[in-house]
Structure 1
Amino acid sequence: MWLLRPPGVYAPQGDSELLLEALRYAAVPAGARMLDVFTGSGVVAFGGARLGAAEVHAVDLSFRATLAARWNAGLRGLPLTVHRGDFLDHAVGRFDVVSANPPYVPTGHPARTRKRRDRAWDAGEDGRECVDRLCRAAPHLLRAGGVLLMVHSDICDTRRTVRLLQEAGLKASVAARRRQAFGPVLRRRALLLEQKQLIAPGQREEELVVIRAELVSPAGA
């Protein structure tokens, strides 16, 4: 898919592709209300609109990303409402589908000290700053029967994500997996990740996962 993407906006890669595949498999209900957080250029939000979502909200902290998402939606004539800011500030109401490609690359420093140009992927010392926030927020974002689809690398602990979502009362499991070679950012940080024991010595490959979490309707609801 051709996209307008200003410098500094996250380019759709293997994680975006895997999330789109999971979204297609999830069968977005016709007329669904959807929230796409950490939207970047908007590619996953566009996928939801094309699959039948009637109301799609896309959120990103980056001014350039929100500008790109608006441009790309306008060029395609897609019904997309784009918000700039923290996803919790713009998640008004509840949604049938929440999709997320959050920053998940571990750094050598707390995420609050990250450089603006690295904001699309830096996620704190263990890569979980945004992932953990989303796990905690998920029950409050979804309607009964609603589904969260979140992609991240196994480097930031797949089992922990599934466990946190289950502890929050959602039915959660890994819905899709894909192995791929490290991209440029992880290659630059490989030695740091080895030192932090987040990868094995010499490892230059990661497993991407999409985690599906459903807010199950109470019995009799």
Structure 2
Amino acid sequence: MVYEPREDTFLLLDCLKRGFRGGVLVEVGCGKGVVSVYASNRADYVVGVDIAWEAVRLSRELARASKECLVDFVQADMLNPFRDSSADVVASNPPYLPCDYREDPLVCGGEDGVEFSARLAREAFRVLRRSGELFLVASSISNFERLLDVLRGLYASVEVAEERRLFFEKLFCLRALKP
């Protein structure tokens, strides 16, 4: 099963449209490749990563259909295969609902909804170059304050770059800058 682009995907796209400045971008949890393919028109190079082989396959199909798209897709667990200080931007619409990740890895971000995102923030810090940026989608349903604490403990600055209200929650696109 592969995550279908939804409001949170488009929030990340809008956030990148306003704040993304180029360089090497890695998208974690590329799903069907929509964000990575979009970013390939603005970045020097893009790598989309997903733990699900089906997501990588579908993303590659989208990239082939886009023709002038410089993006690679790899199957991996988060940022494990990437060297330290190898990317300018890490972007993700991670699973963020408070439930067990093993129950539904497409939407469950851990007990508080932020465990996956906190792990990703730490891995991104390692992979990002100096002054690199992390763009991360989060939800008010999760333990949002805990996620902000993790980000503030790692990054030089953290801001809510975009925000959207849905029926029963707010979605946030966070932008964190590495010192």
TM range, smaller chain:
over 0.9
- In structure 2, runs of 5+ residues without a counterpart are none
Cross-structure match for 1:20: 13
Cα deviation 1:53-76 (Å, max 9, x = unaligned): 121011001111111111101110
Q: Deviations 1:86-135 (Å, cap 9, x if unpaired)?
A: 0122323421111001111222xx424x2xxx321122222122111012
How far apart in 2 are the matches of 1:22 and 1:63? 27
Would you say the 8 A contact 1:123–1:130 is kept in 2? Answer: yes
Question: Out of 61, 66, 71, which is 2:56 matched to?
Answer: 66
Q: Distance in 1 between matches of 2:115 and 2:149?
A: 16
Stretches of structure 1 lacking an aligned partner (at least 5 in a row): 1-7, 182-204, 217-221
Shift of 1:159: 2.3
2:88, 2:79 → 1: CA distance? 16
Q: TM-score, normalised by structure 1?
A: 0.76
Secondary structure of 1:102's aligned partner: coil
- The one-letter code matched in structure 2 to 1:101 is N
Kept in 2: contact 1:162–1:173 (CA 8 A): no
Q: Distance in 1 between matches of 2:18 and 2:70?
A: 21
CA distance in 2, matches of 1:86, 1:144: 23
Higher Rg of the two aligned structures: 1
Match of 2:87 among 91, 95, 109: 95
Instruction: In structure 2, give the amino acid aligned to 1:132.
Output: A
TM-score when normalising by structure 2: 0.92
- What is the alpha-carbon distance in structure 1 between the residues aligned to residue 9 and residue 155 of structure 2? 26
Q: Which residue of 2 aligns with 1:80?
A: 71
Query: What is the aligned residue count?
Result: 177
- The residue number in structure 2 matching 1:175 is 161
Tell me the amino acid that sits aligned with residue 80 of structure 1: V
Q: Is the 8 A contact 2:114 2:144 kept in 1?
A: no
Alignment of 1:65-144 (within 5 A): 65-77=55-67, 78-93=69-84, 94-107=86-99, 110-112=100-102, 114=103, 118-144=104-130
The structure carrying a bigger helix percent of its residues is: 1
